[in-house]
Chain A
Amino acid sequence: DGGITQSPKYLFRKEGQNVTLSCEQNLNHDAMYWYRQDPGQGLRLIYYSQIVNDFQKGDIAEGYSVSREKKESFPLTVTSAQKNPTAFYLCASSVGRRGEPGYGYTFGSGTRLTVV
């Protein structure tokens, strides 16, 4: 079955550590996205990529980094510079290419990151 796989489901980070969240899709979608969700809140865009080897900052990119070396994969690194990383992280993908916004997103099941 096609879909998006996020791993791990739960992740614990110590102060000062970098951690990487995995996102893999087998939908052949061009565009991929990372969102952060805080309790009782909507989703805020961290980074997005519409094509391999290219990505753009979203609304809250500080303290995060990404790469897009393969179409299927869009890992997110939460660096030690992110001062409040405890949140639920959601990865999504869509068919939409540049200038073609008329498609819905497919979401992964999320990674819950906690700082300990």
Chain B
Amino acid sequence: SQQGEEDPQALSIQEGENATMNCSYKTSINNLQWYRQNSGRGLVHLILIRSNEREKHSGRLRVTLDTSKKSSSLLITASRAADTASYFCATVPTGTASKLTFGTGTRLQVTL
């Protein structure tokens, strides 16, 4: 079963612009993670935010978490063509001992 749903499903922006992707989930969570997948490749872990955290930064990435709304957002600032990929949120529901459940992903296209 899919726990997370990303929005939008696809996003096209120009290089230098910011990209914002949203994720909603259904049940209480221990933590939420964001992953990136280049076409035909495996996923790469970007950032993890715990349920008691509200915001986290890593380089050009900023993640927020609102547990009352069961939602998270990923902001990529000053996007580059190399950021073109699919981005997935994944949650560890409370009590599932590290078993990640993935959303359906946002396909980001960054054009020159």
Contact = CB atoms under 8 A, between A and B. Distances in A.
Given A101-B31, A107-B42, A42 B88 contact: yes
A59 B1 contact: yes
B48 A101 contact: no
A31 B45 CA distance: 16
A90 B104 contact: no
Contact of B99 (A4, A41, A48, A102): A48
Contact of A108 (B1, B42, B48, B88): B42
Interface in A62-116: 88, 90, 92, 94, 96-110, 112
A45 interface: yes
B33 interface: yes
Contacts of B2: 42, 44
Given A102-B48, A105-B45, A110 B98 contact: no
Interface of A: 4, 6, 31, 33, 35, 41-45, 48, 50, 58-59, 88, 90, 92, 94, 96-110, 112
